[in-house]
Amino acid sequence: MTPSAAEIASRIIGARVFVQEVRDPSDGSTTFAVVYGSEARRWTSRHRFDEVDQANAAATVLADWLCAEVR
């Protein structure tokens, strides 16, 4: 199977996927977001997960699709 352009780019830039904790300053509540990127640039998903396990599952799927490293 031929790798996609996204897979090739992810490998070249050393892309990583990880889960980031997001705190709401108004009430102190915590949600979780999936982040993708390298040292130079990051993309944070607009979707927020209430449970860290949900965010970890989403990060794993994204990393598999992009051939990125999960951190």
Domains of the chain: 5-70 (3.30.160)
pLDDT at 3: 74
Burial string for 6-33 (b: 16+ CB within 10 Å, else e) reads ebeebeeeebbbbbeeeeeeeeeeebbb
Cα angle for residues 35, 40, 46 (degrees, 5° grid): 25
Averaged over successive runs of 10 residues, the pLDDT of the chain (71 residues) comes to: 72 82 96 88 92 95 83 80
The side-by-side arrangement of strands in the sheet containing 69-70 is: 42-44, 30-37, 16-23, 69-70
Q: How far is CA 36 from CA 8, 27, 51, in A?
A: 15, 27, 19
In this prediction the pTM is 0.76
pLDDT at 14: 72
pLDDT at 13: 66
